[in-house]
Amino acid sequence: MKTVRNILSWVIPIVVGLLIALLVRSYLFQIVRVDGTSMQPNLENNERVVVWKPATIKRMSVIVFDAHGEYPAATQPVDYVKRVIGLPGDTIKYHDGNLYVNDKKVPQSFINEEQRTKGTGNWTLESIAKKYNWGNDPQKVPANSYFVLGDHRSVSNDSRYWGFVHKDKIMGVVKVPFWDNNKAKNNVNDLAQDN
């Protein structure tokens, strides 16, 4: 009996600790690695960030989502980090390096001119959906979906090529961890807005 008690005295704390870790990872936050250069200059390749799961997704939020089922070439679950440009019901267009959401020019001070203009072209949701064959010529972002772009537009594989991200695929909003002392990165979601 004493042996069983001794075994339980170290097994129970381990099991409780694992359950707490699982709950935290499932409902509060988890740490993910940025893979690639599509979010430069704001997030770097191999940088670790926290995904805050209960956060509200706003326009300009940086999110992490599972691209499997959204991006046709993602044949298995893979995390993508992108910036939300369009909320459900939004109209979006890009003209001469300027981004317009609901016919209002969106400030893009978080990226430089080359990142805003190189390889972006002029487009609307309807024109890129038709060009890349990813929708029925949508004029607005559908319900329960989001339109996302990488900050480094010329190298980003994003909604311009494969369409919208469904809300069920989104893990949460990116928070740069407290141990990163770069003030600009700590404010990566300061641009987020409700409308």
Coil, strand or helix: which one is 189?
A: coil
Is-catalytic flag, 9?
A: no
Annotated catalytic residue, options 26, 53, 58, 82: 82
Of the residues 2, 9, 26, 38, which is catalytic? Answer: 38
Edge-to-edge strands of the sheet including 104-106?
104-106, 98-101, 92-95, 123-124
Q: Which helix (H) or strand (E) holds 146?
A: strand 145-149
Cβ-in-10-Å burial (0-12, 13-18, 19+) of 37 comes to middle
Answer whether 63's CB lies under 8 Å from 79's CB: no
- Which residues face 87 on adjacent strands? none
| Spatial distance between the Cα atoms of 128 and 120, rounded to a whole number of angstroms | 11
Give me the count of residues in the chain. Answer: 195
Our answer to whether residue 38 is catalytic in this structure is yes
Q: Which of 113, 109, 194 is nearest to 153 (CA)?
A: 113
Residue 54: burial class (beta carbons within 10 Å; 0-12, 13-18, 19+): exposed
Q: Quick count: other Cβ atoms within 10 Å of Cβ 67? A: 21
Indicate which residues carry an active-site annotation. 38, 82
